[in-house]
């Protein structure tokens, strides 16, 4: 729909009323658009238009277009605001919501401007456009519009691990968890970026509609700096759901800590940057509670925690039940409940027998030493049992060959 021209104040040489009216027509016309997130930006300026020497009667009318209608009240949040100029050029475009400006980019020839961030739901915006015709005459107009409001049920929020500024181990995947399912995973994945210095190849892998992970082809190199950009604010997630907020963070990879546990030999060897630094006697899961073999990653650390067998499906009062208030130096390896922790009650069996309910037990002193040097993302490699580790049990990403892991990408 073409808006009716409004009176405009001219600057420049005088012309006849009819020629001036034709040359300075301003019509903001609704076009189509696609999605994108609001953040701070600055106005963009371009030089004035050419054509000062062209006879006024030969100049075509300046025509400015935009893909949002004046006073629109239900603009989709995935609309990318665009402005264009025909028979002239744009000199300034400002899209703002209160004091917050939406960044955008003007083409070199001044013919078009496109927002580089998406809109927020339920927000009032003002679009101000300044253009010039072939004779350099400047005209300006503004319009307001409001985006469609969204409920929390219509938005999905991304939680990301690791945390911004965290130093992690070489096995740490990037874990993105959504609180509302993402059905258009391909669209989201195109806007989810992991960059590293030095660069290391890797891939996203969707565990489910609410969780995506990224890991490099091989363990991270120690000292790597990683930046994560989950640019999904107001992006369609499918089924009428939109991303609620973009997330950007950076983390670093520390020393290479790899703990190699042989359940059959009841022994843990601790390697730092490829060198063996300690060997510990340990105990792992007894018959019926066999510890899983494969690659595990430390997920969380607790100086002290309560461990109750009911949380892992062992009924209270049964022969194998337990409820211990103060288990020290506990580090989680699986969501199913495997930990490395101090187990002073099993010191007599450590190094000679497996007597636990699946956890890796150590003396209090040994567990304290290991805990002090460990980080989230440190690698624990288990051998010696016939029960395999699975990808979905904790951060078991390293138990898939990389080619199979990459098959879990929504982009093929």
Residues ≥6 apart with Cβ < 8 Å to 9: none
Active-site residue identified among 87, 205, 257, 359: 359
According to DSSP, the residues that pair with 332 across neighbouring strands are 300, 339
Q: What pLDDT score does 28 carry? A: 47
Check if the beta carbon of residue 25 is closer than 8 Å to that of residue 63. yes
Distance between CA atoms of residues 310 and 323, nearest Å: 8
Check if the beta carbon of residue 125 is closer than 8 Å to that of residue 145. yes
Q: What pLDDT score does 6 carry? A: 33
Q: Which residue has the tokens 């955008």?
A: 104
Distance between CA atoms of residues 225 and 302, nearest Å: 26
Check if the beta carbon of residue 409 is closer than 8 Å to that of residue 204. yes
Q: What pLDDT score does 308 carry? A: 82
Residues ≥6 apart with Cβ < 8 Å to 154: 240, 241, 242
Q: What pLDDT score does 52 carry? A: 45
Joined tokens for residue 286: 């007894």
Smallest Cα–Cα separation from 272: which of 373, 149, 146, 192?
373
**Residue 366: how many other CB atoms lie within 10 Å:** 21
Q: What pLDDT score does 35 carry? A: 35
Check if the beta carbon of residue 276 is closer than 8 Å to that of residue 189. no
State the maximum Cα–Cα separation within the chain, in Å, rounded to a whole number: 104
Active-site residue identified among 205, 257, 341, 357: 341
- 161: helix, strand or coil: strand
According to DSSP, the residues that pair with 361 across neighbouring strands are 283, 341
Query: Environment class of residue 328 by beta-carbon count within 10 Å: exposed (0-12), middle (13-18) or buried (19+)?
Result: middle
Ranges assigned E (strand) in 185-293: 192-197, 202-208, 211-216, 225-230, 236-238, 241-243, 247-253, 257-262, 267-272, 275-281
Joined tokens for residue 252: 């670093």
Is 359 part of the annotated catalytic residue set? Answer: yes
Joined tokens for residue 63: 């025509």
Q: What pLDDT score does 45 carry? A: 38
Q: What pLDDT score does 335 carry? A: 96
Q: What pLDDT score does 31 carry? A: 38
DSSP 198: S
Give the model confidence (pLDDT) of 266-282 as tens digits. 999 999 999 999 999 99
Give the model confidence (pLDDT) of 39-93 as tens digits. 333 333 333 444 444 455 566 778 889 999 999 999 999 999 999 998 899 999 9
Distance between CA atoms of residues 16 and 5, nearest Å: 18
Distance between CA atoms of residues 295 and 191, nearest Å: 29
- 369: helix, strand or coil: helix
Q: What pLDDT score does 73 carry? A: 94
Joined tokens for residue 242: 């939109």
Q: Which H/E stretch holds residue 229?
A: strand 225-230
- 324: helix, strand or coil: strand
Q: What pLDDT score does 30 carry? A: 39
Weakly modelled stretches of the chain, pLDDT under 70:
1-59
Q: What pLDDT score does 60 carry? A: 76
Is 257 part of the annotated catalytic residue set? Answer: no
């Amino acid at each position: 729909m073409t808006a009716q021209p409004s009176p405009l104040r001219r600057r420049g040489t005088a012309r006849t009323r009819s020629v001036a009216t034709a040359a300075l027509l301003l019509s903001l016309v609704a076009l189509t658009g696609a999605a994108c997130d609001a953040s701070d930006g600055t106005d963009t300026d371009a030089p004035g238009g050419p054509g000062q020497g062209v006879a006024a009667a030969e100049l075509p009318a300046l025509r400015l277009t935009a893909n949002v209608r004046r006073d629109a009240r239900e603009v989709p949040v995935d609309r990318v605001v665009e402005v264009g100029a025909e028979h002239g050029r744009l000199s300034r475009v400002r899209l703002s919501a209160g004091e917050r400006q939406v960044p955008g980019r003007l083409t070199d020839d001044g013919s078009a401007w496109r927002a580089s961030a998406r809109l927020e739901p339920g927000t009032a915006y003002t679009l101000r456009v300044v253009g010039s015709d072939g004779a350099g005459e400047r005209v300006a107009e503004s319009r307001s519009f409001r985006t469609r409001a969204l409920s929390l049920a219509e938005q999905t929020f991304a939680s990301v691990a690791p945390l911004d500024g965290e130093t992690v181990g070489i096995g740490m995947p990037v874990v993105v968890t959504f609180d509302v399912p993402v059905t258009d995973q391909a669209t989201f994945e195109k806007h989810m970026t992991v960059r590293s210095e030095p660069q290391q190849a890797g891939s996203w892998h969707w565990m489910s509609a609410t969780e995506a992970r990224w890991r490099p082809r091989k363990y991270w190199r120690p000292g790597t700096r990683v930046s994560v950009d989950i640019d999904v604010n107001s992006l369609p997630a499918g089924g009428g759901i939109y991303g609620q907020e973009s997330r950007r963070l950076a983390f670093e990879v520390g020393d290479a800590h790899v703990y190699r546990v042989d359940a059959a030999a009841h022994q843990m060897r601790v390697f730092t940057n490829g060198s063996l630094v300690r060997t510990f006697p340990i105990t792992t899961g007894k018959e019926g509670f066999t510890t899983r073999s494969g690659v595990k990653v430390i997920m969380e650390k607790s100086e002290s925690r309560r461990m109750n067998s009911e949380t892992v499906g062992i009924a209270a009062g049964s022969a194998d039940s337990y409820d211990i208030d103060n288990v020290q130096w506990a580090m989680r390896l699986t969501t199913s409940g495997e930990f490395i922790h101090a187990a002073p009650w099993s010191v007599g069996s450590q190094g000679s027998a497996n007597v636990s309910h699946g956890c890796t037990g150590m003396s209090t002193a040994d567990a304290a030493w290991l805990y002090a040097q460990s980080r989230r993302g440190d690698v624990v490699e288990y051998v010696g049992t016939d029960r395999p580790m699975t990808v979905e049990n904790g951060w078991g990403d390293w138990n898939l060959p990389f080619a199979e892991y990459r098959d879990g990408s929504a982009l093929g």
